[in-house]
Structure 1
Amino acid sequence: MRRNALTLGVLIASAVVVGQALLIPLFAAPAANLEPRDLPIAVAGPPQVVAQLEAAHPGAFEVTTVADAVAADSRIKDRDVYGAILVTATGSEVHVASAAGPTVAQLLTQAAAGLGQAPPTDSPGMGSGIVPVRDVVPVDPDDPRGAGFVAGFLPLAITSLLAGVLVYLFVPRRAARLTALATFAALAGLAGAGILVGWLGILSGDYFAVAGVLALFALAMAGAMTGLAALIGRGGLALGAVVMFLVGNALSGIAAAPQLLPQPWGEVGQWLPIGAGGTLLRSVAYFGGSGGGFAVTVLSAYAIVGLLLVLIGRNGLVKKTREAPAAPAPELVGVPS
């Protein structure tokens, strides 16, 4: 008995170490290898500018040529590109959207530094001191580095995951599960938007639009968790937590941009709820919804499929216990007089 317990302890410790060995590179490798990979940008200037940019940064940018700064800014606001490099006879200029990712704005500024000389930028923290920088779509002044956006989104992912688990474990009936998931999503969206928009002021978008995004994300995460568990039992909870949270968080690109992650992992992350949710929240909060179509489709698919699985899946772990049949009364045996 003691030997079996010792063997079990060694196996558990070994399994945890194997999991650790897998999780460390999953999180550390993308963060340590952030660099542009086919990052969409616009360029306005002489034809040789594009060739010079591609020679200096091969494979880094997917370039769209535009006529002038007005066309470049329009592309940025529509989320067709992350920024623009404008080269004129007096030097180069960079137009960025820090709301799309402050890290991308810094990388674009560095890339433009070798294409021309100009006076230092007046935008503190945004420029390299070599080229002037214009922030076309800035982050909220209350979140100048964009860190609050990332930190504020992660708790919703955790609570949505937890809500999906709790609904499966403690709500036995299908109709009640659907009601609980819908109620959670609505309240999570309203409360989250109230904190991020109203209280902390991290997001500057419309309150109800942001609430709608957060509600859809919450429903996608929680609904998928409950649906997977309803379909295959407790294993569905483990599968959902690993794929949607651990893998999804590592590949989401929320802190930077999907195009800065090693590919194809940056693209894979946009097919998971956290990546799609972060992209949609940026689009709605800062860009009037532009560039959020694919993310809406992904989140809606997770929500709809999750709710369908709830309908066709098991009743769960909490079930009515059937009443045991009453034991027959013992027969009275007469005692002879």
Structure 2
Amino acid sequence: MRRTPPPAVLAVVLAVAVMTLQALLLPLFAGPAANIAPRDLPVVVTGPAPAVAAFTAKLESTSPGAFAVTEVADADAADAAVLDREAYAAFILGPSGLTLHTASAAAPPVASLFSAAAAQLGAGTGMQVTVEDLAPLSADDLHGGGFAAGFFPLVITSLLAAIALYFAVPRFGARLTGLITFALLAGAMGATVLQSWLGVVGGEWLPVAGAISLLVLAISATVHGLATVAGPPGIGLGVVLILLVGNALGAVAAAPELLPQPWGEFGQWLPIGAGATLLRSAAWFDGAGAGGAVWVLVTWAVVGLALIGVGWLGRKPEPQAAEPDAEAHEAARRLGATVAA
């Protein structure tokens, strides 16, 4: 017979366990936030070859390691790189000075950083600097705070839906129906609220709703699948991986390149990071740059649904009451008749 540890021992063990979790979470959250800085931010530059060479050298000497500069043929190619989410900004050198094209919807802090860098370069070289935002944020969310704040209720409700279905719904088919129904409704409601009501997300309604639905399904299916194969500990694992780690490394309000590497890139392989990238692409860039994020979210959703199936097939059958045989049933009937007589 297993002995239950004394309450005092159990209390100490729990305290040590939570303290250990705290020791892991503090650097996970505080470390990236304290070390936010540009790291190889992709940018493009175009103009006369001598001017481009001099400008690139100046940019790299001013901020070593901050930018990954690529030269393109002309202004149209530069704008295409920004709108296709291949670069965060385009520097266009011309006779009248420097023109900077940014896309604040891709990452508001990065757009501000480039504007400051362009102003600094202009002041240092005497060039006239013009800034144009090719993909501005919504007028109701000029700094992007609404997008980041509105994103996390989608994550929290996805976790809650997965946990509620695990404890409240016993049947496999009903659980799948609940997950898919929730994902579709969450996409529709999320797009309606964020676009039509709050105005913090741009774009067409259907792509935005689809992006939210895929994010929600990836999160809820993963947590529900882990719960199905591992029980409540699986829920804890899913919450830690998706919410805590994913939140710290997702760069929802910033950009992956601003985080210490390889953690910024790793965050894009988790549902929160991929979901934020997909939603931005759907809302402001007509889906450009969303391919990798879609594959990440589809993979999480498929793995989660597969875990649900594996857990359901491996469950222990519930004991059923034995059916009385015919002779015993007949004997009981005769005894009852005799007693009644």
Q: Shorter-normalised TM-score: what interval?
A: 0.7 to 0.9
Structure 2 counterpart of 1:307: 305
- For these two proteins, the number of residue pairs brought into alignment is 323
Deviations for 1:120-149, whole angstroms, at most 9, x for unmatched residues?
Answer: xxxxxxxxxx84321111001011110000
Contact 1:82 1:104 (C-alpha < 8 Å) held by counterparts: yes
Counterpart of 1:99 in 2: which secondary structure?
coil
Q: 2:45 aligns with which of 35, 43, 46?
A: 43
Contact 1:172 1:319 (C-alpha < 8 Å) held by counterparts: no
Q: How far apart in 2 are the matches of 1:23 and 1:16?
A: 10
Residue 90 of structure 1 deviates from its aligned partner by 4.0
Q: How far apart in 1 are the matches of 2:187 and 2:317?
A: 31
Higher mean alpha-carbon deviation, 52-61 vs 268-277, is at: 52-61
**Counterpart amino acid of residue 87 in structure 2:** V
Counterpart of 2:93 in 1: which secondary structure?
strand
Deviations for 1:158-180, whole angstroms, at most 9, x for unmatched residues?
Answer: 11011111112222221111111
Contact 1:92 1:115 (C-alpha < 8 Å) held by counterparts: no
Aligned residues with identical type, % of pairs: 52
Q: How far apart in 2 are the matches of 1:86 and 1:296?
A: 32
Counterpart of 1:98 in 2: which secondary structure?
coil
Structure 1 counterpart of 2:154: 156
Q: Give the structure-1-normalised TM-score.
A: 0.88
Q: How far apart in 2 are the matches of 1:71 and 1:179?
A: 46
Q: 1:286 aligns with which of 280, 284, 287?
A: 284
Deviations for 1:173-226, whole angstroms, at most 9, x for unmatched residues?
Answer: 211111111101011001111101111111121111111111111111001111
Q: How far apart in 2 are the matches of 1:7 and 1:235?
A: 21
CA gap 1:168/1:315 in 2 versus in 1, 3 angstroms: farther
Contact 1:227 1:306 (C-alpha < 8 Å) held by counterparts: yes
- Which structure features the higher share of helix residues? 2
Structure 2 counterpart of 1:52: 58
Higher mean alpha-carbon deviation, 148-157 vs 229-238, is at: 229-238
Q: 1:91 aligns with which of 97, 101, 124?
A: 97
Structure 2 counterpart of 1:67: 73
Residue 76 (structure 1) aligned with residue 82 (structure 2): yes
Residue 108 (structure 1) aligned with residue 114 (structure 2): yes
Q: Give the structure-2-normalised TM-score.
A: 0.87
CA gap 1:91/1:65 in 2 versus in 1, 3 angstroms: same
Contact 1:42 1:63 (C-alpha < 8 Å) held by counterparts: yes
Higher mean alpha-carbon deviation, 260-269 vs 172-181, is at: 172-181
Structure 2 counterpart of 1:138: 136
**Which runs of 5 or more structure 2 residues have no equivalent in the other structure?**
337-341
Residue 316 of structure 1 deviates from its aligned partner by 9.7
Structure 1 counterpart of 2:171: 173
Bigger radius of gyration, 1 or 2?
2
Q: 1:254 aligns with which of 242, 249, 252?
A: 252
Structure 2 counterpart of 1:234: 232
Structure 1 counterpart of 2:203: 205
CA gap 1:163/1:318 in 2 versus in 1, 3 angstroms: farther
Residue 56 of structure 1 deviates from its aligned partner by 1.8
Q: How far apart in 2 are the matches of 1:35 and 1:131?
A: 23
**Which runs of 5 or more structure 1 residues have no equivalent in the other structure?**
119-129, 333-337
Note the 1:182-197 alignment, pairs <5 A.
182-197=180-195
| Alignment root-mean-square deviation, CA | 2.8
Q: 2:263 aligns with which of 250, 262, 265?
A: 265
Contact 1:230 1:316 (C-alpha < 8 Å) held by counterparts: no
Deviations for 1:32-62, whole angstroms, at most 9, x for unmatched residues?
Answer: 2111111111112411211221222222111
Contact 1:189 1:212 (C-alpha < 8 Å) held by counterparts: yes
Structure 2 counterpart of 1:126: none
